[in-house]
Structure 1
Amino acid sequence: MKAITKAVWAIVVSAATAQASAEITFYQEQGFQGRSFTTEKQIGNLDRFGFNDRASSVSVENERWEICEDARYRGRCVVLRPGQYPTLAALGLNDRISSARAIGRDQRIDERRYAPTPAPAQITFYEDERFGGRSFTTDKRVEDFRRKGFNDRVSSLVVTGPDRWEACEDIRFNGRCVVLRPGEYPTLRGTDLSDRISSVRKSVTKAPAPEPAQIAFFEQEGFAGRAFTTDKSLENLRRSGFNDRASSAVVVGNRQWEVCDDARFNGRCRILRPGQYPSLAAMGLSNSISSVREIGRDARIDERRYAPAPIAAPNYRQRKDERLFEADVTSVHAVVGTPEKRCWIEREQAPQNENQVNAPGAVLGALLGGVLGHQVGGGTGKDIATAGGAIAGAVIGSRMGGNGSPQSVPQNVQRCEDLPHQARTEYWDVTYTFRGEEHRIQMASPPGRTISVNAQGEPRT
């Protein structure tokens, strides 16, 4: 009797353990990017977890899961087998999942309820072009193709599943390497790796992180004075020491923000789209903002609630799947002085400020990834502002006048022999060359020996 009891108990514990290991992870963006939410328990309403109608890709572990477009497992539902689903668009459930629950191991499911089986992460090599001749398939890294009898023989290949693979011309992932995205490659002539692949592994290059949704307020117009940045909703800015103090703002990311002149999102409110607002006076909110909150991606907004269109903010962050190169830095100058005077000085002379928390250049640099402006070729700092879309204000020395029009300060400056009294480094003027062409950028901090750029020579962070 005791033996039977122990056996039954072991089965119960084993089943409970298996069920507990069932796990599903939702991602806000396709390709397993953006904010994520993981659960091992059934969720009758994802709205309670701030993830209702937000999932665009899913990863399922160990057990099957049912996902539904309505709360409490209603509406259209689909059963997912264990695996990775880089997009839910093909299932008609992109940004539409409201509930999810694990399916018991012994529960029978009609085949018509299943989502298409996710493709396994693997790569298949072919000896001839257009997938002809001898083939070789692997789902693991291979550091030496000679052991597989396939060294320098690959002329075409197929990548399946959500992962990217890195193929290299030398063993142990040395020499020239190319990252291959999922898909069919009937010929490798365009990659210079035809009959030259000697090793392969899943790509270790991470996709760029999505740009965070943030809003920055500045105490003065033109993005000057003390600054305050947040990525969360705040119902009372008094607690942050910034109540009724904002005169300009910058919104980054792909989300909108609502700003109100009373606490708890009351009083007069306006919606700010992503971009730059060098003055809040035009919308009647200068020195009047008391609360701020992020607006949901699917929220419907009356056009009359929007603030006047902002100035487009430059975006130098790496795009998804964008290939990067390293360009050699040829010169670096620090720009210092008061708003009425600018001096070019060498990097070694630049004053190092102990506290950059509220420096406009530091705040804007953090928002934009460190690059404040870019242009191809020579010119002045003013040209960079025009050609590259650099942030205005304290960073490049322009200010908003009383009538809202920009007033430029002197741009053609001389190198300073002595540091200005109580000078502060406002930004760094950097020159680099890429493919024989000269580029200039303004940065919030000094660069290294190289700058990361895309194929067009544009800076990337």
Structure 2
Amino acid sequence: MKMITKTAFAACALVLGSQAMAQVVLYEGEGFRGRSVVVDKDMRNLDRRGLGNKASSIVVERGRWEVCPQPRFEGRCAVLRKGNYPTLRGTGLDENISSIRKASEGRRYDNEPQAAAGEDYKFRRRGGERTSEVPVTSVRAIMGPPNQRCWVDRQAAPAPVDPAAALIAGVLGYQVGPPPQTIQRCTTVQGRPDHYEVTYNFRGSPRTVQMAAPPATDRVVVNERGEPRM
């Protein structure tokens, strides 16, 4: 009996632990901008969190989540897997999410939008994060591979033409001589910057991060762990 109780308790603790780790962040604007709400449990009505029917982008950090257009998990719901959703256009959910809960493992959903392949959310500020500015010490552009640019030139053939034949052809209205030649020419062009390596000072220690664009100023915004934020 004690063994059964311990096993049941362990299973219950495992389920509760996995639910506690699950987390999703809803943003008012596309591209993870504007007001945000962090959800780590079932929410029957998002109006109580001030973001009902206004979410335009979502980040699922852990687990699978069922999002519904009406309160109490009603309407044509969809399930979102772990990943970034910088826009909800085309999913039927744009600014139309009123309730959210952990998705059932054994249930199949007709609407499962695909997460974005990029890392749009990597440097976005999370809800409730404290940030500060730190100085940038260096910015280095990492160039992409060189490209080959080619074009075609048309040139007259240099072969000589018999004067007598040219005279006869002129009288008869013909053109004598080889047709123009087409010559392909190519040159190597330096590739564009692929990314930028930005080094900054955080609490006396250098940190380096790869960014798609260089910082606009000589300072970057970081969270309490020194991770860049935009």
Q: What's the counterpart of residue 203 of structure 1?
A: 211
Query: Which string of whole-angstrom CA distances, capped at 9 and with x for unpartnered residues, describes residues 46-101 of structure 1?
Result: 11221112111111122111111122222221110111111111313221111111
Amino acid paired to 2:211: S
Q: Structure 1 length normalisation: TM-score? A: 0.29
Q: What's the counterpart of residue 194 of structure 1?
A: 191
> 8 Å contact 2:62–2:82 — kept in the other structure?
yes
Q: Distance in 2 between matches of 1:86 and 1:198?
A: 21
Q: Distance in 2 between matches of 1:203 and 1:186?
A: 20
Deviation at 1:176, TM superposition (A): 3.0
- Share of identical aligned residues, percent? 34
Q: Distance in 2 between matches of 1:113 and 1:39?
A: 21
Q: What's the counterpart of residue 113 of structure 2?
A: 115
Q: What's the counterpart of residue 348 of structure 1?
A: none
Deviation at 1:174, TM superposition (A): 4.9
Q: Distance in 1 between matches of 2:195 and 2:47?
A: 49
Deviation at 1:164, TM superposition (A): 7.7
Give the SS at the match of 2:58.
strand
Pairwise mapping of residues 150-299 of structure 1 onto structure 2 (< 5 A)? 160-162=118-120, 174-176=139-141, 194=191, 201-203=209-211
> 8 Å contact 2:60–2:81 — kept in the other structure?
yes
Query: Which string of whole-angstrom CA distances, capped at 9 and with x for unpartnered residues, describes residues 402-427 of structure 1?
Result: xxxxxxxxxxxxxxxxxxxxxxxxxx
Q: Structure 2 length normalisation: TM-score? A: 0.55
Which structure has more relative contact order (CA 8 Å, sep 6+)? It is: 2
Q: What's the counterpart of residue 29 of structure 2?
A: 29
Of Structure 1 and Structure 2, the greater strand share is in 2
Mark the CA change 1:53 to 1:163 in structure 2 (over 3 Å): closer, same or farther: closer
Mark the CA change 1:59 to 1:17 in structure 2 (over 3 Å): closer, same or farther: same
Structure label with greater radius of gyration: 2
Q: Distance in 1 between matches of 2:21 and 2:54?
A: 24
Q: What's the counterpart of residue 97 of structure 2?
A: 97
Mark the CA change 1:194 to 1:164 in structure 2 (over 3 Å): closer, same or farther: farther
Q: Distance in 1 between matches of 2:24 and 2:195?
A: 37
Q: Which runs of 5+ in 2 are unaligned?
A: 124-137, 150-188, 198-208, 219-230
RMSD: 3.9
Q: Distance in 2 between matches of 1:87 and 1:100?
A: 17
Q: What's the counterpart of residue 2 of structure 1?
A: 2
Amino acid paired to 1:103: A
Deviation at 1:44, TM superposition (A): 1.5
Give the SS at the match of 1:175.
strand
Count of aligned pairs: 155
Query: Which string of whole-angstrom CA distances, capped at 9 and with x for unpartnered residues, describes residues 123-172 of structure 1?
Result: xxxxxxxxxxxxxxxxxxxxxxxxxxxxxxxxxxxxx342589xxxxxxx
Q: Which runs of 5+ in 1 are unaligned?
A: 121-159, 166-172, 207-322, 327-461
Pairwise mapping of residues 355-374 of structure 1 onto structure 2 (< 5 A)? none
Mark the CA change 1:188 to 1:57 in structure 2 (over 3 Å): closer, same or farther: farther
> 8 Å contact 1:188–1:194 — kept in the other structure?
no
Q: Distance in 1 between matches of 2:38 and 2:47?
A: 14
Mark the CA change 1:193 to 1:33 in structure 2 (over 3 Å): closer, same or farther: farther
